[in-house]
């Protein structure tokens, strides 16, 4: 099988993507295309140029003619592992299309070879079956993930049988991966956690406490707004309190169920708990009622495996001190793609961002990263990031509509939710955290400091109660530093015209 296949092909356009120059498609792209494997193409494809210039450009890894792989299944796999990293979903679909003897022939007797050992390990790890090879007795141990290409767990587990150091950040039931990019490396090297520590270091404890309280409520309201809801103040406060406790209780199925109950205010029309039917995000045809999915959730029959795997993976990454933001992306975005509940998934997905950042001590004690607020500011990008995986995945999910106009998934889809490339999602999360640190938190701190100066001035000149001061400043803020005629005739009718002018001048001094 696959012996006489021609994998490389000359292209200038491929799957709607224009190449930076004409060349030969190789690696994972060529393998998926030639073998018709049922999985989305990688975010970045590899191309052999006719020129002797190596570079990356807009979703393309351009290599020189000397990098041309052997025109064989093994040669293309070696190229992919060497220059593109490990694609777990690709290998699972490849191995499912082969029988064990074909895999053994692919590996042959030279199991000491670095790449043959990796293929051997991946087969036995992904398929949970042993090939007919004896354990290796000699040879150096090699890491499965090459850290030039992908973020690996700092702690690896030796597989003595293959002499492979398994540095995957997850487990066989749930293991998304993130590729190294210049963008991610810049964010990580910028030490954003140190920036926030420097920001809050000199703050008075009262300002810090008030900042945190405001950011909690702001984030809670933003999370509902993202879902198109306008919650009551009590509901927003209740969810804000839950966010404030994030990281205190270990992640578990029971904890997820508890949080769903907090999120859902009226459960009369919603079946609570983990789904026992299909699920999708999208619309219904207005005439027929048929589902029009933008995203199809994991099969309900797979939820136990996926959620247990996700929780185990989260604990594994915390124990290994894997990077907190990468961990958070792998857990929170994986959760929202799985979509284990009928309702509440989006808010719980954003709760998990708080939970993981706090549990891994990335978020300083006493402060909250209002990530939902940052997401709301970048809502179009957020939707694009979510759809970057959801939409291509639709081509590989077979489904039919149910009598209740839901979806019933007909094929085996579990691997599409546990072996995701979450590089783009990790980049987006770093953008949101960067925006939070450099814009949202400083703006709130600055506002409170200005507010306190204005309050002190009002106390010295008018001895107003705190409640009246808060109302006055809010009116000024909403009317560009001016007191409206209505405010002067009603709430602040006791002020003289001269006093009103003095207050407006003071506001301009402290807030401009």
For the chain, the residue count is 512
Task: Look at residue 212 in the predicted model and tell me its pLDDT.
Answer: 75
Sheet containing 17-26, strands listed edge to edge, beginning at the edge strand earlier in sequence:
9-14, 17-26, 45-49, 60-63, 55-57
The CB density around residue 262, as the number of other CB atoms within 10 Å, is 17
Task: Look at residue 231 in the predicted model and tell me its pLDDT.
Answer: 75
Q: What is the Cβ-side half-sphere exposure of residue 266, based on CA atoms within 13 angstroms?
A: 4
The CB density around residue 209, as the number of other CB atoms within 10 Å, is 13
Structure tokens at 449: 């400091």
Task: Look at residue 202 in the predicted model and tell me its pLDDT.
Answer: 66
Give me the percent of the chain exceeding a pLDDT of 90: 65
Pairing mode, strands 9-14 and 17-26: antiparallel
Residues of the chain with pLDDT under 50: none
Measure the CA–CA gap between 488 and 469, rounded to whole angstroms.
14
The CB density around residue 60, as the number of other CB atoms within 10 Å, is 22
Task: Look at residue 415 in the predicted model and tell me its pLDDT.
Answer: 98
CB 340 within 8 A of CB 274: yes
CATH, domain range 182-265+280-441: 1.10.3290.10
Per-residue pLDDT of 38-64, as tens digits, reads 999 999 999 999 888 888 888 899 999
CB 50 within 8 A of CB 65: yes
Task: Look at residue 210 in the predicted model and tell me its pLDDT.
Answer: 78
pTM: 0.91
Task: Look at residue 120 in the predicted model and tell me its pLDDT.
Answer: 96
CB 136 within 8 A of CB 111: yes
Residue recorded with tokens 């398994």: 166
Q: Which residues are CB-neighbours of 505 under 8 A, at least 6 positions away?
A: none
Measure the CA–CA gap between 151 and 323, rounded to whole angstroms.
9
Measure the CA–CA gap between 122 and 88, rounded to whole angstroms.
8
Task: Look at residue 205 in the predicted model and tell me its pLDDT.
Answer: 66
In the chain, where the domains are located: 1-96, 98-105+112-168, 182-265+280-441, 464-511
Q: What is the gyration radius of the CA atoms in the chain, in angstroms?
A: 27
CA distances from 186 to 1, 54, 166, 182, 438 (A): 44, 21, 26, 6, 15
Task: Look at residue 264 in the predicted model and tell me its pLDDT.
Answer: 82
């Amino acid at each position: 099988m696959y012996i006489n296949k021609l994998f490389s092909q000359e292209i200038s356009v491929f799957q709607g993507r224009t190449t930076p120059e004409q060349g030969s498609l190789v690696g994972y792209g060529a393998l998926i295309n030639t073998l018709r494997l049922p999985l989305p193409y990688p975010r970045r494809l590899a191309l052999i140029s006719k020129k002797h210039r190596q570079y990356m450009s807009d979703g393309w890894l351009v290599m020189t003619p000397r990098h041309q792989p052997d025109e064989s299944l093994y040669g293309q796999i070696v190229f992919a592992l060497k220059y593109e990293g490990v694609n777990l979903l690709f290998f699972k679909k490849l191995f499912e299309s082969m029988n064990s003897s074909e895999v053994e022939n692919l590996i042959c007797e030279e199991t000491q070879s670095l790449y043959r050992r990796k293929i051997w390990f991946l087969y036995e790890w992904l398929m949970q079956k042993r090939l007919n090879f004896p354990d290796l007795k000699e040879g150096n141990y090699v890491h499965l993930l090459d850290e030039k290409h992908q973020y690996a767990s700092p702690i690896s587990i030796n597989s003595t049988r293959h002499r492979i150091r398994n540095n995957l950040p997850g487990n066989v039931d749930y293991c998304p991966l993130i590729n190294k990019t210049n963008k991610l490396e810049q964010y990580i090297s910028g030490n954003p956690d140190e920036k926030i520590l420097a920001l809050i270091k000199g703050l008075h404890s009262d300002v810090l406490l008030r900042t945190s309280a405001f950011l909690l409520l702001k984030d809670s309201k933003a999370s509902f707004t993202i879902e198109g809801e306008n919650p009551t103040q009590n509901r927003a406060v209740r969810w804000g309190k839950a966010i404030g406790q994030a990281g205190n209780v270990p992640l578990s199925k029971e904890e997820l169920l508890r949080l769903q109950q907090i999120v859902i205010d009226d459960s009369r029309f919603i079946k609570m708990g983990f789904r026992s039917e299909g699920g999708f995000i999208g619309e219904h045809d207005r005439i027929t009622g048929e589902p029009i999915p933008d995203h199809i959730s994991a099969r309900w029959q797979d939820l136990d495996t996926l959620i247990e795997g996700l929780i185990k993976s989260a604990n594994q990454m915390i124990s290994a001190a894997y990077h907190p933001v990468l961990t958070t992306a792998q857990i929170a975005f994986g959760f929202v793609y799985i979509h284990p509940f009928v309702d509440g998934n989006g808010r719980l997905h954003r709760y998990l961002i708080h939970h993981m950042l706090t549990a891994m001590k990335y978020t300083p004690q006493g402060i909250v990263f209002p990530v939902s607020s940052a997401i709301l500011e970048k809502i179009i990008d957020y939707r694009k990031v979510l759809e970057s995986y959801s939409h291509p995945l639709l081509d590989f999910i077979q489904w039919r509509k149910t009598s209740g106009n839901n979806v019933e998934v007909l094929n085996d889809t579990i691997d599409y939710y546990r072996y995701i490339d979450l590089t783009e999602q990790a980049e987006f999360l770093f953008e949101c955290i960067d925006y939070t640190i450099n814009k949202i938190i400083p703006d709130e701190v600055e506002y409170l400091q200005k507010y306190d100066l204005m309050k002190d001035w009002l106390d010295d000149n008018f001895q107003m109660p705190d409640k009246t001061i808060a109302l006055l400043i809010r009116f000024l803020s909403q009317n560009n530093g001016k007191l409206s005629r209505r405010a002067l005739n009603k709430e602040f009718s006791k002020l003289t015209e001269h006093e009103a002018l003095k207050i407006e001048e003071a506001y301009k001094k402290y807030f401009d």
